Every structure is written in structure tokens, then in C-alpha cells.
Amino acid sequence: MDINMQKIEGGVCAAKGFFAAGIHCGVRKNKDKLDLAMIYSDKRCAAAAVYTTNKVKGAPIAVTKRNIADGYAQAVVCNSGNANTCTACGESKAETMCKSAGKALGIEAEDVIPASTGVIGLPLNIDAITEGMPALAKKLSNEGSAEANQAIMTTDTREKSIAYKFNIGGSECRIGAIAKGSGMIHPNMATMLCFITTDAAIAPAVLQAALSDVVKDTFNMVSVDGDTSTNDMTCVLANGEAGNKEISEIGSEGYEAFKKALFETSRYISREMARDGEGATKLIECKVNGAATKEDAKTAARAVVSSSLFKAAAFGADANWGRILCALGYSGAEFDPTKTDVTMSSAKGELLVCKGGSSVEFDEDFAKEMLSEDEIVVAVELNNGECYAEAWGCDLTYDYVKINGDYRT
Amino acid sequence: MDINMQKIEGGVCAAKGFFAAGIHCGVRKNKDKLDLAMIYSDKRCAAAAVYTTNKVKGAPIAVTKRNIADGYAQAVVCNSGNANTCTACGESKAETMCKSAGKALGIEAEDVIPASTGVIGLPLNIDAITEGMPALAKKLSNEGSAEANQAIMTTDTREKSIAYKFNIGGSECRIGAIAKGSGMIHPNMATMLCFITTDAAIAPAVLQAALSDVVKDTFNMVSVDGDTSTNDMTCVLANGEAGNKEISEIGSEGYEAFKKALFETSRYISREMARDGEGATKLIECKVNGAATKEDAKTAARAVVSSSLFKAAAFGADANWGRILCALGYSGAEFDPTKTDVTMSSAKGELLVCKGGSSVEFDEDFAKEMLSEDEIVVAVELNNGECYAEAWGCDLTYDYVKINGDYRT
């Protein structure tokens, strides 16, 4: 399906009617670091979200679930510096965030999606947030995406943002996203947050279906350290200002067009999140082909990018394919090791390193040069079926240990 | 049950009728490093083993399975420096190892258990092994346990060995073990090998039942890096020379006595393996109590010692209990976060760090001092039932990255 997708500027403000801002309110001690972000639509939006599967959930998750239960929302407010998780009164503080944002924006508190990221187990300074809210709302602009992005970052080393325009049945629509990846202010846990805005018109239930579907092949295929955060969330706000005919049916042409745009947006952000994993020097992409089922392909791909041993080898630019076979072997995916081929590649070229589960001769010097690039691809051919999946991770480095071994000060 | 267990010297040679040796045969280039080990009993033994669950299995595993299918064996031969995995002719080479050992010992090749540990995907130098075999057999002695232990080590920093005497129905028996832990000669994968000998008389099927049972709560509760090797194996040889009435029934008094001795032996080795994990500076023991089921307790305990984030925090002596709650939360174990308490301790003292899933005030300076010890215990009380489990791991350090990121040279 050709939806004539083109990259544009603007992040979460690229879609019509969306505004964003970021300020320093005081949750963090460092005054140079923004710590409170807001995204706002001038119309109420269809809203959908997916959340962490961790049994220990951040307090904002519960409030977000309640607030978008009716399928609608109009703003997102998110602090960094504190996860508002595992502390007394967490939910009540998340509700206070919503009330305070609603008041500053002149909308219902129940139309605000709250989020928090940072250290677990310390009380959130809610006063700093409520006091900063009016200034934050006042600062909203359609050029505020980068600032909002900065305000949700923790140990991220760069902003993760994207926007596209695309066509749905002749109407030009826009979709944009900002995200934070795998970092933390006090080393704590890799909280993934992604906020997506679109001006496409789409019914809430249909939007949720598209998001739930896309997440399985994008965000859920990223691993930085195997630790599933308590606060992960991806949400989409769709305000319909593009003027397309509302997408109201799962599987319709409009639905597929929107889902494609949502997929590309989510895939871009997922890759950027892996690339900016804590301490990472390179992105690892694993493509598994020839699996008997999609689930087998996904399980296998995710095992490879999650293997500590392979991640350390990638850091050392070591074509240690035995670790890839090993990870495939314990992944639980169905396959026959003796039919498995592995090819490694980067911008420098590609190299078959394993054929039929056994070693093949290759030039180790070239392998090292090739794997020294900042993006490497591991292509696994299982020769066991027709299914394909890809997953993204990063290398395991001294800096990962440094970032997470440092004392919480 | 009091089986009057006492620690003794001798490792795998502590039990009557067992002999061991280690030599340098040439699988490794470094002539100062022993690379071929043998354990031999002067009587044929009941034999039992458990193996890696990795779908990609080392060639020796297949041969061992065939050779002990009848329940008996008389010797173990194991090389380090090469895993004999993912290469052509691996099984035939493992069989050649057995033939060559059988010839040197004057026993059937089918009564030899072969094992290999080291780099995956490179052809094993079988000639070095067959040529070294006569000298190895000649060197067998009842003081050879330490030497055999050295010959199976890869990146292990020390021998892992234990022996006990204990009573079964009035007969004094002995049990001993040597093991290699989580290291590799060429950084490759954490191959765990443990060889246990006992002079207790026990029928093969009963021995297998005891081993399969004990392994679940000991070796299977160790994690160094989450990567399940292709070559893991634990085997027991029981030659009956202690003269006890043969244990022929699962659940009998003799069975329980033997299982207790086997459990303590396996638990000791498991802890040592975790303590000597690659790059480790400390042992982490996680005890989970109050789980609804044993499986929940095990799942929860293993998640904590496997969490990269908590392992890095342990390296930094950081009482970052949020990461423990997070790991419990994604483990899949059934529990209620709001009923969960966490206590951390070491030789320096103990500290309640989380009560009912929320933070409690504690002295951070004391916490850091306490967690700087080389053995730390995380006690999790789920207050959700009666079941208990423990698991062992180690911290995640710069040296882990260094050992595994280095190029295979």
C-alpha cells in the first residue's frame, strides 16, 4: 500500500492542532535540566495506550488507564527525575498532576494522561509540579516538541523524535512522536515512554487496535538490558484535524494506511531507543527469517539482541556467532540448528559466518572492521518456514556498568 | 534427618575407589594450562546426568546420553579449550575420545562419559586428545582431584571442589565434586560442568531421580549472565564401595539421606559457581519466602539474581531495591507488590529497605558499607503463602564486559 509517506519536521507538533512545551519545575535538582513536559491538542482526541506488563506498576499507569477508559484525552503531562512508583500516595499525586494540568489548560482533569520517569521508591515532589504547571501551559507552542522531548529524558544522550506526513484516502495526515529510551536520572530502570500525536481522524477503539498491533512488532522487540520497567507506556492522541473521513473499521483501507504510518513511526523510535540504550556504542538489529511461525521468529530475534554474551561480543566487534546459535538454542523458538545460517553485516559489507549450524571460514580482520561500525545487522535464516521478525538491541559496554553501578546520589 | 555430614578433603577422589588426573595435551596453545581431565572408578558405577536444555547441544552431550542410557559408566574424560559444538564430525570426535579413554583404561568405550568446554564452532584437535590419553590414564591417582579440576577450568579464577562424608543407615559414605563455572577460555559461553562421585550404593534410576530433583533447587538456580550454555552437564558416578545397602527405592530413608548429601554438595558448588561468575566481585544470594507456590518462589528468586540492573547496582554497593521490586514484577511470579518486604544483608549487618512495596527510611551510608562485602543476601518476603526458594548470582562488572568483549584471539 502506497501512502506516500514523507519525513517532516516538528515531532509531536507536526500534526495539526498539537502544541508542546517543557520546563524545569524542580523535581530535579539540576536547574539546567528540564523535568516537566506537556503535549496538548486544541481538540479532544481519540486516545489509546499500551502499558508495561510488570506487576509492579508506576502510579501514573493506573490513573492513565482510568482517564482514557472512555477513549478520549486532550493532553499529556510527564515529569522526569522521579518514577512516582513504590511510594505512598503515588496515585493521588498522579491525579493531582492531572487536576493541575486540567486547570491550567481549562480542560477536564480526566482528559489528561499523566506519566513519570526516574528513580523508584522516592516520594515525588508534587508541589514543584503543580507550581510549575501554569508556566508550562503558557509556554505551549507548535515549536515546543524538542523542549518537551528534553524534559522527559533521563540518561538518554539525545532526543528521539520523528514525524511523517502521509495520505489516507486522499487526505493528507500527519503523525509524530517523541520518546525517551533506556536511561535514568538516578540509575534505576529503563523506562520507555513514547508519546505519539496524529491529526488523522480515527475512532478510539480502532486506534487502540492499531496501536496494540503495531507495538508487538516495534516497541516490544527492543531490549536494552532485559529489565522490563514499571513505568513503560506508549500512547497516541488523534485529534482528527487532518479532515480525513474518520477511520471507524479495523481492517479498512484507511485503517491499514494509518497503521502503516503508525508502524513506521514506532519502528523508527524503537530503533533509536535501542541505539541510545544505556552505555551503548552501537545498534544491533537481528532479522530472523524462515521461521515456522511469527512467534518463533520473534522469540528467536529477541533472544539474540538480549544475550549479554553476544552484546559484549558486539562491543568488542567480535564475530562470535557461537553466541548467536546459543541464544537461538535457549530462546524456546522451534528450529533445527543444522539448517541454520547466520550472516553479519554493516555499512562496511556482509559476511556469512555460520552455514547449517557449523562454522565457515571467514576473514577475521574484515569481520572486526565490519563489526566496528555503529550499526550492525545479524541475519538469521532458519530454513524452517516462511515467517520473519526483527528485533533491536545494543551492545553491552563498560558504560552500562558505570551508569548503573554508580551510587544513587 | 541427621546424616552426620562432615566436610572432608579429596574432591572427586574422596569417595572410595575413585581416581583422577589432569594433563596438558595440546587442545590449548598455552602449555602451562592443563586441558584434559579424567575421573575413573575401579568399579563400574551407577551413573546419572542432567544436561543443558539449549536446543543447540554440544556433541559430547549426545554421546554421554547414549553411553549412560544403560544406567552405568566408569570414567569421565573432559577437555577444556574447545566445546566441540557446532562443528562437523563433533559426535564422531566425542566417540573417539571415549574409545581412546576406554583403551587406555581397559574398559568399554560405552562406559566413558565425554565432555568438552571452550570456544564454540572451531574444530576440536582430537589428535592431541587421543595422543595424550595413555599418559593421562597413567597419571590417575587418588590425589588427582585438584589437577582434574584445573584441567576443566576456562576463565574460572579458582577451583570449585567439595567433599563430605555422611551416613546412610549406619554405613559411612562419601560424596565429592569438582566443577567449572561461568567462564571460557576464548570468551564464549558460560559452560557449567560438574562431576560428582560417591561410593554410596544406589541403583541407577534412583540416582537419576535424586539428581534430577536436586538440580532444580541448586544448579538451575544459578545465573551469571542469563545465557544457557550448549554444553552444560552435571553427572554423578556412584560405585557402591561404601558398602551400604543399595538404595533401590525413591523416597526410602536411604534415598533421603543420599539426596541430602547430594543436595548439600550441589548447593555448595552452585554458590561457588555464582561467586566465581565472570568478572564477579561478589556473590548475590536471593531468598524468597512467603510465596504461594514453590515455582513462584523460584521464579521470583531467579529473576532478582538475573537482573542486569540489580547486578550492576550490587557492583556499585547501591541498595537500589526498586530494581528488586521491578525484577519481581516482570518475573511472572504471582504476588502482591503492596505486601512485599525486602531486607538486604551481609556479614556487616542487615537492613530493611522496603516494606509493603514502599520505601522505608534507611541509613544510606551503612547500606553502602554493608553491600561492599563480597557476599550479599537479598531476602524477599512476599507474605503470600508458605513457599521458599533461593537463587545465586553475581554482580555485573567492568570485567564481565572486558572478558566477553575481547576479541577471540
* pLDDT given for residue A300 in this prediction: 95
Distance CA A239, CA A17 (A): 8
Instruction: Give CA–CA dist A148/A37, Å, rounded.
Output: 5
| Residue B179 pLDDT grade (very low, low, confident, very high; cuts 50, 70, 90) | confident
C-beta neighbour count of B366 within 10 angstroms: 13
Q: What are the residue numbers of the active site of A?
A: 191
pLDDT band at B284 (very low <50, low <70, confident <90, very high): very high
- Model confidence pLDDT, tens digit, residues B367-403: 999 999 999 999 999 999 999 999 988 998 888 888 8
How many residues are there in chain B?
409
pLDDT for B116 beyond 50: yes
For a pLDDT cut of 90, what percent of chain A falls above it?
65
Residue B96 above 90 pLDDT?
yes
Residue with cell 525486602: B342
Query: Residue B99 — very low, low, confident or very high, per pLDDT cuts 50/70/90?
Result: very high
Dihedrals phi, psi of A99, to nearest 5 degrees: -60, -45
Q: What's residue B80's pLDDT?
A: 93
Among A404, A224, A225, CA closest to B315: A404
- pLDDT over 60 (residue B194): yes
| pLDDT surpassing 70 at residue A186 | no
Exposure pattern of B122-157 as b/e (b: 16+ CB <10 Å)? bebbbebbbebbeebbebbeeebbbbbbbbbbbbbe
Our measurement of the distance from residue B7's CA atom to the centroid of its chain's CA atoms, rounded to an integer in Å, reads 18
**Mean pLDDT value of segment B88-116:** 96
Cβ-based burial of B359 (10 A; exposed 0-12, middle 13-18, buried ≥19): middle
Distance of residue B33 Cα from the nearest chain A Cα, in angstroms: 23
pLDDT at A380 over 60: yes
Is residue B59 within 8 Å of residue B84, measured between CB atoms? yes
Q: Which residues of B touch A88 (CB under 8 A)?
A: 358
Please give, rounded to a whole number of angstroms, the shortest distance from the CA of B311 to a CA of chain A: 8
Instruction: Indicate whether B190 pLDDT > 80.
Output: no
Give the per-residue pLDDT at A191. 60
A55 touches chain B (CB under 8 A): yes
- Compare CB distances from A228 to B318, B330, B368 and report the shortest one's residue: B330
- pLDDT tens per residue across span B213-242: 888 888 877 777 766 677 778 888 999 999
Contact call for residues B183 and B154 (beta carbons, < 8 A): yes
A245 part of contact set with chain B, CB < 8 Å: no
Candidates A320, A355, A400, partner chain B, best to mutate (most B CBs within 10 A)? A320
Q: Where are the alpha helices (DSSP H) in B218-293?
A: 253-275
Tell me: pLDDT of B408 over 60: no
Q: What is the mean pLDDT of chain B?
A: 90
A231-245 b/e (C-beta count within 10 Å ≥ 16 → b): bbbbbbbbbbbbebe
Q: What pLDDT score was predicted for residue A408?
A: 52
Cβ atoms B179, B195 nearer than 8 A: yes
- If pLDDT is split at 50, 70 and 90, which confidence band does B184 have? very low
Q: Residue A281 half-sphere exposure, CB side, CA atoms within 13 Å? A: 15
Average pLDDT, chain A: 90
DSSP, res A246: P
Q: Provide, rounded to the nearest whole percent, the portion of chain A with pLDDT above 70.
A: 95
Measured distance CA(B280)–CA(B397) in Å, rounded = 6
The answer to whether A107 and A74 have CB atoms below 8 angstroms apart is yes
**Strand order, beta sheet including A349-355:** A358-359, A349-355, A341-346, A375-381, A283-291, A387-394
**Could B225 and A402 be called an inter-chain contact, meaning their C-beta atoms sit closer than 8 Å?**
no
Residue A131 above 80 pLDDT?
A: yes
Is 70 exceeded by the pLDDT of residue A147? yes
Instruction: Tell me how far the alpha carbon of residue B322 is from its chain's centroid.
Output: 30
C-beta of residue A374 within 8 angstroms of C-beta of residue A389: no
Nearest to A90 by CA among A122, A112, A53, A50: A122
Q: Which residue of B has its CA nearest to A315?
A: B405
Q: What CA–CA distance (Å, rounded) separates B81 from B154?
A: 7
Is B343 part of the contact surface with chain A (CB cutoff 8 Å)? no
Tell me, what's the pLDDT at B187?
30
Of A306, A320, A397, the CB nearest to B188: A320
pLDDT grade, residue A42 (50/70/90)? very high
**Averaged pLDDT for residues B133-156:** 94
Residue B273 has pLDDT above 90, yes or no: no
Q: Is the pLDDT of residue A227 over 90?
A: no
Q: What is the mean pLDDT of residues A233-260?
A: 91
Q: Tell me the three state secondary structure of residue A206.
A: helix
pLDDT of residue A332: 87
Subunit contact A188:B323, Cβ cutoff 8 A: yes
- The one-character DSSP state at B40 is E
CB contact under 8 A, A309 and B188: yes
pLDDT of B63 above 80: yes
Q: Tell me: the pLDDT tens digits for A306-364?
A: 888 899 999 999 998 988 998 898 888 999 999 999 999 999 999 999 999 988 999 99
- Judged by phi (left if over 0) then psi (alpha if -120 to 50, else beta), residue B117 lies in beta
Share of chain B above pLDDT 90, in %: 66
pTM given for the model? 0.81
| For B300, nearest residue in chain A (alpha carbons) | A55
- Pair A5, A173: CB distance under 8 Å: no
Looking at this protein, which amino acid is placed at residue A174?
R
Q: Residue A323: enclosing H or E segment and its boundaries?
A: helix A321-331
Query: Phi and psi dihedrals of A59, rounded to 5?
Result: -60, -35
Q: Tell which residue, A34, A11, A17, A37, has the closest CA to residue A116.
A: A37
For residues A114 and A92, the answer to whether their CB atoms sit within 8 Å is no
Q: Is the backbone of residue A134 left (phi > 0), alpha (psi -120 to 50) or beta?
A: alpha
Of the pLDDT bands very low, low, confident and very high (cuts 50, 70, 90), residue A90 is very high
Task: Return the closest-CA partner of residue B177 out of B165, B160, B152, B192.
Answer: B160
Q: Do B78 and B49 contact (CB within 8 A), yes or no?
A: no
A123 neighbourhood in chain B, CB within 8 Å: 359
CA B203/CA B214 separation, integer angstroms: 16
Q: Give the number of other CB atoms < 10 A from CB of residue A386.
A: 11
pLDDT (0 to 100) of residue B128? 98
Q: What are phi and psi of A333, to 5 degrees?
A: -70, 145
Q: Which residue has the higher pLDDT, B41 or A409?
A: B41
